A and B are shown apart, each in its own frame.
Chain A
Amino acid sequence: MTALTRREALLAAAGFIAAGARGQENGPAVSSGGDAVLAALPGKDPLIQRAFRPPNFETPLADLVPLYTGNAVFFVRYHLPVIPRVDAASWRLQVEGPSAQRSFALSLPELKGNFPRVSLAAVNQCSGNRRGLFSPRVPGVQWGNGAMGNALWTGVRLRDVLHKAGVAADALEVVFNGADSAVLPATPDFVKSLPIDRALDESTLIAFEMNGQPLPHWNGAPARLVVPGWTGTYWMKHLTNIRIQPAPFAGFWMKSAYRIPTGAFPTVRFVSQETPETTPITEMLVNSLITSPTPAARLRRGEPAQLAGKAWDGGPGIAAVEVSVDGRHSWREATLARELGRFAWREFQLALDTSRAGPLEIAVRARSRNGATQPETLTFNAAGYHDNRVQTVRVEVS
């Protein structure tokens, strides 16, 4: 197999090499829409720029190869354009609400020092990851595969902080706000809520470190919510306010955005926010990503080649990854690497048969411990969420 340099792989992921292969000298086409460029935010490596303001930057495929996604290449997703550089020394986290028995504010040293510290590996995947691959196309940030990453998150349990406040018996939801804001006063602030049981789950963290380093600015410094198994929309960045309340939070970003058709997906329900028509997106579906070979790769006949990638789900953990190279007639199990935890992605690999020249189509489907597998077809939804179709890559053996 031809080894791509990092630069080539980055460009291939952004669509540039494919464009060159079609003989287009100018205006490289990007399969998932727009003239995406590789560009670096301050403190970040070059990422696929889906939008500059609010910043939405996607991790190139080559940077999804390592077991932990680096902080400098971790994807960036914002809804609102005013993003202050939060001063860690003056930052405070306010905990309050009608269902909190006490209100208080925590400084960063207090958050770090007053509660047991926890580290947990987890995938953070944007709800709209792969939206740009939808057919028919749907509006929104036209993400490819890289609105996701896997990191080791270190912080404290949200429930320890909530218990310090005292959770009243009538608590229904916990509402989270961050330091980012809109330009116009009429624009709804980005505020999200969780059901009380998910907020009290032992895996839900307020994290201040990512992969052993302080959170990068663009990923929520100085502290953010980590909701393992649930899509990134709940992982509030630059967290400043936590409110425990007895009623459903009625803001735009809960009532109108990040919703899926009720009953369309086999995920946990967010009952207090549900209507007969729509319900909030919650857990990630079982899914996989092929990192090697890339579509641009040429495999040499008779030479060893490895299929490699990642598989993840909403928390049961990956039971198996199956691979077909004969048009889905037969499936073989790939080798799974050790598990980092049920919320992390799991690496898989399988030696490919390169004994015959010609096109080789590789199909990959992960299976969760709860029995769920990746489907062949998309469950279409207007917001472009939950694309967990069987993954395929076509390469040439010659």
Chain B
Amino acid sequence: MQPRARLPAVAVAALAAALAAATFSAASRAAGGPPRAAAAEVTSLRDGEGRDLTVGQCMICHSVEYIPANAPAMDRAAWQKTIQKMKDRFGAPITDGDAKQILDYLSANYSGKSS
């Protein structure tokens, strides 16, 4: 049970990294040209209902750039499968209620699969 107790600390660290990355990203764009610098955590998901919950849950284990990167392969059914995999196979502590909100957010904002 001790590892569970560490979770909030991890999430806090991840959010701190998120803020740092957002600052870097803005500075880079202001300087012009493509971003190129020390590697940093990418955290800027699209605005939308459920975004903060999605960022908070997903970033326990991975940076959220996986989400836009995978959008072209995803639709609602694929996101449903992915969230289920994160829960069942990787042990993500996502409640059913949260899973529904995350699914709604990802489906609405990152479903790029051509049908």
Contacts and interface: CB of A to CB of B under 8 A. Distances in A.
A291 to B, nearest CB: 21
A340 B91 CA distance: 44
Interface stretch (A44-52, A166-174, A352-360): A44-52
B91 to A, nearest CB: 2
21 contacts: A14-B34, A33-B71, A34-B68, A35-B65, A35-B68, A37-B35, A39-B35, A39-B39, A39-B40, A40-B39, A46-B36, A51-B65, A51-B69, A52-B39, A53-B63, A54-B62, A136-B114, A137-B73, A142-B69, A184-B91, A185-B3
B72 A33 contact: yes
Interface of A: 11, 14, 16, 28, 33-42, 46, 49-55, 57, 81, 136-142, 182-188, 252, 256
Contact of A52 (B4, B42, B113, B114): B42
B3 A53 contact: no
B74 A184 contact: no
B70 A140 contact: yes
Given A34-B65, A52-B42, A186-B91, A136 B36 contact: no
A138 B72 CA distance: 8
Contacts of A39: 35-40
Given A183-B10, A184-B61, A184-B90, A52 B41 contact: yes
Contacts of B38: 39-40, 42
A39 B65 CA distance: 14
Contacts of A28: 34
Given A34-B68, A52-B65, A139 B39 contact: no
Interface in B85-105: 89-93
Contacts of B78: 139
Contacts of B10: 183
A187 B61 contact: yes
B43 to A, nearest CB: 9
